[in-house]
Each structure stands twice: as structure tokens, then as C-alpha cells.
Structure 1
Amino acid sequence: MGVKRHWLKTQLKKLPLGVVVMARVIVIGAGLGGLPAAYELRHILPRKHQIILISNQPKFTFVPSLPWVGLGLKSLDRIQLDLAKIVPQHGIEFIHAAVTAINPKSRQIRMSEQTLDYDYAVIATGPELALDALPGLGPEGGYTQSVCNPHHAVLAGIAWEKFLEDPGPVVVGAAPGASCFGPAYEFALLIHHVLKQKGWRNCSPTSKRSQIPITFITSEPYAGHLGIGGMANSRWLIRKFMADREIELMENTAISHFEPDAVYLADGRRIPAKFAMVLPPFRGPRFLREAPGLTDAKGFIPVLPTYRHPDFESIYAVGVITQLKPVEQTPIPTGAPKVGLMSEEMALAVAHNIALELGVISGCQNKPTLQAICFADFGDTGALFLADPLLPDETGHRHRALTYKGIWISWMKAGFEKYFLTKMRLGWTIPWFERWVFRAIGLPLVEPIIPSPELIQVKG
């Protein structure tokens, strides 16, 4: 079957534009990148083309809301959707299974009970948590919590309720090699807000809040670096948020290991911790790392501007699993984040480019603009970060970099959660009115790749 599909693909390239051959497109992963990618593919490709969505999770989770779950501010079921119920309604086949292997050469995906051939595979698995990066890291077999996946967020919520019965020092932060710092800042500032609501106020040395010191430890060169070299006044904004809440800030600090009651730093210092939430480094899932030539050393997939793999023309990638090199070398390793909007941009571009290759549409290939908007809720206020694009150029500049603060941003995040879940129920990626809003504020999301005159001349 794999040989037959390879032959079809070869013949497809020889056909004139507009002649369509049925293709099977498999999307691996049903998160913030994978589910929108499947929906956009279904929207743009005729029904004669088969779209299959494979996920090792039975439910879609709105991951940006997991810090709320980790502090008992929201139940997990409120931010999840049953994939088996919603996905088939939109003409997409759903398979709840874990992928165990992928062979880009034979174009096959293997699961425990079946093997599927494909014409295109869109990899949107999200990351694997590298909990073995530091001794004692992680809630299972370690001494720290995380809010990087639904299961861990629930465990964090249980640990938090137990902590409140007998409180003590708190540590929040990011391990060396981490690439997503926003949830850590959000979690630390939400902790202060929750404690304040419960009566632990930082008013005097004899207050209850003084019994629960909060320390924030980050591998970033400075707070607000965010793995992207900072933006606008993010450095000073984060520092002010921390200072106003009497949260001790430890920047450019490497953690070495964890014990049940303490966090140990690389320089030998010991930070007491009765509750610790530390974000781990990310890497690609094992089945990707084991596919020869598919990923880099950490399991991330290298991509061209079209988000196709440079060596395997049948492979595209979307979301956190894509390779994105840091903007600069930092004293302690830090990665560059891929936020939710960027994943949607990648999904739009990938679906367009696959449709173009199949002859469904005509025109130029697209690439995501990698513009990013992030909402963060801090309880009594919030922060919005806009980076256009996410990473600055060689001179350290962007087209735009804006930060805002205010309680209205917390309301916006809560509203956006409901809007995004509604989109996923209805089978939308980015509907026309949302695209119109982005264009109106100068965020086009994707842009055409214009071939150079030299390339056009050679093809001609």
C-alpha cells in the first residue's frame, strides 16, 4: 500500500494544476496546533481527500488555562472537549491511540494495533517533558509540580490543597533549558493572589503571608526575557509585579536538583520549599527522536519557511514540536517559546501549502508570520504581550513590541478561553471575522512566499 501511495504522489507531480488525486493526510496530535490544523485541512480540501486525526489523549485541552487548574481556580473538565464526539462531526476520522513509530521514507505511521500509510503527515504532537533533566524534577518520582499537561495540572491542584493545610515556603520557576516561561510567572503571581484572598497578607513580619515566602527562580538572563530576548518593557514590568508582591526574584540562576523540602542551586545554595512548581525543559516524543533524520538532537522537527521538513516532502510540522532556534546564546540554556497564536498561524500555512501541492488551489506557498499575542492572568491584574514577530532580527528589533497591564486583560483571557473552545466545537480554525480583526491591527498571520526572479527564470 505504501508503494502505491508513493507512486500516486510521483504521478501527482506530473499532472497539470487543477487535476486532483485523492490523498490521505494524517495529523498527529490534537492540541492547540493539531486540532486547528485538522480543521483547516478539512476546510480547504475537498471531501474526496481523507483527513485523519490521531491523538494519544481522548480530550482536547485549552492548555493556557492549566495554571488555574493547578491552583484549584477552575476544574479541568471546563477547559476540555471530547475529541471522539466533536471531530467526526466535521468530516475528520479520529483515532485515539499513541503513535509508536513513523517512517518518513515509506510514509507509514505505526500504532500499537495498526499501521497507516499516508501521503502527508502533519506532526503536531506538542512536547515531551524532559523530567529526567534534573534529579527530583516532576510530580511522578520527584518533588515538584508542573502545569504543562492536564494530568500534571490536576496533581498540582491536589498538592496545592494539601499545602494549604500546612503551608510553608514556595518556589516557582523554570529549569535550565526551559522554553515556556509565561506559565511560571502566571503561577507565581496567582499564588500571591490566592493567598491574599485567603487572608495571608504581606503586611508585616508577623503576618500570615510572611510565613509563606515565595521565591521565583528563572534560568533567563533576566526576568521578562521570556526566551525571546525580552520585549518592550517586559523586564521592568515583571520585576515590578514581583516587587509589589514581595516575591523574591532570582534571575540567571540554574537549579541543580530537588529534595522533598528544598530546591538546590548549581552554586550550592539551598532554597527551602514546601511547595515547588518548576517548568521542565521540552523535547520531542520518543517515536520522533527514533526516526532517522527526522529531528534535531532534542527531537524538534526542522522546517522550511513553508513548515515542510527540508528532507522529507511528505512531512509538515505545527506548534511546539517545530524547531525554533533561540534568539541569542544565554549564560544558562533557554529555549524559544511557540505560543498558541503561532501554532494557528502554522496550521493555516501548512493546510494552504498541502492544498497547493495537491492542485486544489493555485498561487504561492504561504509561511506563518510568527507574530505572537499572550494573555496572562495574575488574579487582581493581568498582562498582555504582543511581539511582531516573536523573535527580533539580527539587530534586536521587531516591527512592534507592546505590553499592557490591567484587570481587563484577565477578563480577556477568560473570554478568549470560552471563544477558543467554541471554535473547536464548531470546527473553526480562524474564521473570517477573526482574520479580519488581525488584518485590521496589522497582524496578517500568514504571508505568501514570493519566488525570486532567478528561480522563476530557471523554472521557465
Structure 2
Amino acid sequence: MARIVVIGAGLGGLPTTYELRRLLPKEHQITLISNTPKFTFIPSLPWVGLNLKSLKNIQLDVEKLLANRGVKWILGGVSQIQPELQQIVVEDTVIPYDYAVIATGAELALDALPGLEETAGYVQSVCNPPHALKAAEAWRKFLANPGHLVVGAVPRASCFGPAYEFVLLADWVLRRHGLRNQVPITFVTPEPYVGHLGIGGMANSAELVKKLLRQREITVIENAAITRIAPETIFLADDRTLPFQYSMLLPPFRGPCFLREAPYLTDQNGCLPVLATYQHPQFSSIYGVGVITQLKPPEQTPIPIGVPKTGQMTEAMAIAVAHNIAVQLGVISAPLVTPTLEAICLADFGDTGIAFLADQVLPNPRTGERRRAVAKEGRWVSWSKTAFEWFFLTKMRWGVAFPWFEEWGLKAMGLSLVQPINDFEFSHTPQIKKLV
């Protein structure tokens, strides 16, 4: 019998748990640990932050989801992981494991610059449920007393999609309320240009994003470093200041404290280095899934930024990790696999949206190109994101990570979540190496 522990019940952890339970015989014990009782569909949090959707409509009760599925559920925060001993500490309980899957999502580095910290209360974010609820309450007050609106990200941020969604949705909401002429809007980003998205070279994405921002009369400040935040004022490195009545800024991500404190486990930001199998290079009993994994930027930018890990990338990591653990245990006879890191992203802007397809997210390091990079605008994108939210939540209710019809749909578009390691181009990224 093997003991597999999954830490985190989000977009990475819950699908990994379902896929492990599907692949492994009942004698193998699967435990899911999370510090929150709810699964949240994180991509919908910009809607919550602008009071366009209720948080409860994008959350599911994890304990109910796992009932009668042969998975042990532990609600609690991990205080320590001991890779040498293969133990996890949750409060006062020590949990041994044969394999551990780290799928915690990221901790927000709110101490990255003065005034960003939550206790200051100057700016909002929509990166987790509590923050989205606070943003929604602040947005209600802002509509009653409108003024300058500033949206964007700080240096070392890595997921820019929510910022673009928030600023363009905010414009749409303000127009619906007849308030747009009272609200000057500024978008500020550390990206070298808008539409870079942390990966660069995404077909016509920059042109589409610039066009929309220009049409909506949103002032753009790109390649900008926010250095500190004061009440109603944001300070930039070039000595410019931005006044605001409401601001939503995306912070940098890092690994949670229990990972950062474990010797030799993570990089300086608390992210897990991984092999092609998504195992840790030094501790083969540990796997990583989602935002917590280390991906190096494909290029140096004037202001440091990170690489996004989208929902589809996270789903691919989950499927690969579950498959590889089953192979390691001898349950299935098949090649080890690696996630393809292809991504389809749907950004809703209210009355329109942009669909991004990056195949693959990280360009080939030799050519600097992707197999495909597509960006398409249209109202259909908004409808598609709503439909996908329903689909993903339905999958989680069913207890299925990757149904056959989703696989067929991706194949019809020439995409896949995973592929055999022997066929993988190992030079794709410097930190991913063949497991020997």
C-alpha cells in the first residue's frame, strides 16, 4: 500500500486527487489536505470583485465532493514538510507519505513594497476569495463616490490576465452605471508592453489589447515599476505619481511559508524546481502542480516579471503527476509523461473579450517561436468563459478530472494535456530535464 498526500484543494489539487483515485486501486491511500473547506474557481474572481457574480456560485464544499470517493479529507494548514523523513505536519498531527503532491497555489507577497500589505488597506486584489470579497465591498463604496481608478500589477507579478479583465470590466460596469465620465482610468504594468502577458510574442495580442484600451479611453503606463503606495497615491520609480480613489493591483506570488522554510526544497521565491515528470530533482517522493512550480521566464524584461501558470497548464500538470505516480507504483504500464504546457485563456471584458491560445506557453528556446500563437476578439469569448466555468465546476461535482469528451475536444484543436517524455523536447526550458 502506498500513501499519497495531496496538499491543496484548488484547481491543481482537486483534479490531481480525482485522477489519482481513478488510476489507483483502493488499497492505495489518498489524503487531501487544505486550509480552506471550499474549492473556488479562481478565474472567476474578477467577476466577484466587481459584484458581477456571487462568490458562493463559484465555490464547492470539498468535504461533500469527497464523500464516498475513497479519499481521506483533512481540513487544516500545513505547518511543516520534512522531505528527508517523508512527513507532513498539520497542526499537531504528523502525516507520513510515500508520495506528496504540492498543489497549494501561491501565497501573495504583499510585503513586496510599502503600502501593498493587506493591513494598509490602500489597494485591492482579486487573487483569492477573501481579497475578492474585500474588493467587491470597496467597489460598492467607490460607485457611490467615484474618482480616479488605477488597475495593474507590481514588479515580479506573473499573472496579468486578471488585471486586464478587471480594468476593462470596470470600464464596462461604469458605463452601464452612467459613471464613466466621472472616472479617469489608468492601467499600469511592469510588462515591457501591454499584452506581453509574461510570455511575449503572443501573435497579435498586444495590438488587440492596445486597441481595446485606447477605444475605452484608458491611459496606459507600461514598463513601469510601482515603488510604494500611500493613501490615494501610487508612486512610480520614475517619480511619477498616480492619484486613485480605487485601485486593484496584482502582487507577486511566492510559495507558502512551510515550503520556503524546508531546506533544499524551493528556490528563493518558494517555488518548486521540477523535472520533466514534475518530480522534485532532489526529493523524488515530491511532485509539484500549478502555480507553485518553477518556470523561468522565456526572456529578460527591463522590470522583472514572472511566467503565468494558467488553469489549463495546471490541469495538464495534475494529469501528468497522477499518471506518473501510477507508473512509479507499477499500477499501469506506460511511458512517463510530461505536461505540454499548452494554454487556452479566455478573458472577459463585459461586452467583448479575447481568447488567447499559446502552443506552447514557453516558446522554443532555439527559435524563440511557438507552434501556434493566436488571439481572437469577440463577444463569444465572454459567453465561452461563462460556459467553461460551468463545465469545470460540473467536472468537480462529478469527481472527474479529465473526461473523455474534453480530451477529444482538445485533440480536435490539435492540443493535448500531456505527452510521453521520450517524445518531449527537453531543451524546451532550461530547468526541465529528462529523468534518468
Normalised by the shorter chain, which TM-score bucket?
A: over 0.9
TM-score by length of 2: 0.96
Aligned to 1:339: 310
2:261 paired with 1:290: yes
Counterpart contact for 2:260–2:270, Cα < 8 Å:
yes
CA displacement at 1:192 relative to structure 2:
0.3
Separation in 2, partners of 1:114, 1:88 = 22
Aligned to 2:101: 122
CA displacement at 1:138 relative to structure 2:
4.2
CA displacement at 1:444 relative to structure 2:
1.6
Separation in 2, partners of 1:337, 1:414 = 21
Runs of 4+ in 1 over 6 A off after TM superposition: none
CA displacement at 1:451 relative to structure 2:
8.2
Aligned to 2:386: 414
Counterpart contact for 1:55–1:97, Cα < 8 Å:
yes
* RMSD over aligned Cα atoms: 1.0
Separation in 1, partners of 2:67, 2:363 = 40
Question: 1:344-372, CA deviations, whole angstroms, 9 ceiling, x for partnerless residues?
Answer: 10011101110001010112100000000
Equivalent position to 2:298, from 316, 327, 336: 327
Equivalent position to 1:163, from 142, 147, 150: 142
Consecutive unaligned residues in structure 1, runs of 5 or more: 1-21, 201-208, 453-460
CA displacement at 1:396 relative to structure 2:
1.7
Superposition pairs of residues 181-200 of structure 1, within 5 angstroms: 181-200=160-179
Q: Alpha carbons of 1:89 and 1:140: their partners in 2 closer, same or farther (altered >3 Å)?
A: farther
Counterpart contact for 1:373–1:384, Cα < 8 Å:
yes
TM-score by length of 1: 0.91
Identical aligned pairs, as a percentage? 62
Separation in 2, partners of 1:141, 1:121 = 36
Q: Which amino acid aligns with 2:162?
A: P
Superposition pairs of residues 448-459 of structure 1, within 5 angstroms: 448-450=420-422
Question: 1:366-390, CA deviations, whole angstroms, 9 ceiling, x for partnerless residues?
Answer: 0000000100110000110000000
CA displacement at 1:91 relative to structure 2:
1.6
Q: Secondary structure at the match of 2:6?
A: strand
Q: Which amino acid aligns with 2:403?
A: P
Q: Secondary structure at the match of 1:367?
A: strand
2:234 paired with 1:255: no
Question: 1:246-287, CA deviations, whole angstroms, 9 ceiling, x for partnerless residues?
Answer: 000000000011111111111111111000000000000010
Larger Rg: 1
CA displacement at 1:450 relative to structure 2:
1.7
Separation in 2, partners of 1:358, 1:239 = 50
Separation in 2, partners of 1:64, 1:101 = 29
Aligned to 1:437: 409
Aligned to 2:285: 314
Counterpart contact for 1:224–1:230, Cα < 8 Å:
no
Q: Secondary structure at the match of 2:63?
A: helix
2:399 paired with 1:427: yes
Aligned to 1:37: 16
Aligned to 2:251: 280
Counterpart contact for 1:29–1:124, Cα < 8 Å:
yes
2:356 paired with 1:385: yes
Question: 1:142-162, CA deviations, whole angstroms, 9 ceiling, x for partnerless residues?
Answer: 411000000000000000001
CA displacement at 1:334 relative to structure 2:
0.4
Aligned to 1:11: none
Q: Secondary structure at the match of 2:238?
A: coil
Q: Alpha carbons of 1:124 and 1:420: their partners in 2 closer, same or farther (altered >3 Å)?
A: same
Q: Secondary structure at the match of 1:235?
A: helix
Separation in 2, partners of 1:451, 1:172 = 42
Separation in 2, partners of 1:312, 1:277 = 38
2:126 paired with 1:147: yes
Aligned to 2:430: none
Separation in 1, partners of 2:423, 2:211 = 47
Counterpart contact for 2:110–2:118, Cα < 8 Å:
no
2:374 paired with 1:402: yes
Equivalent position to 2:74, from 91, 95, 101: 95
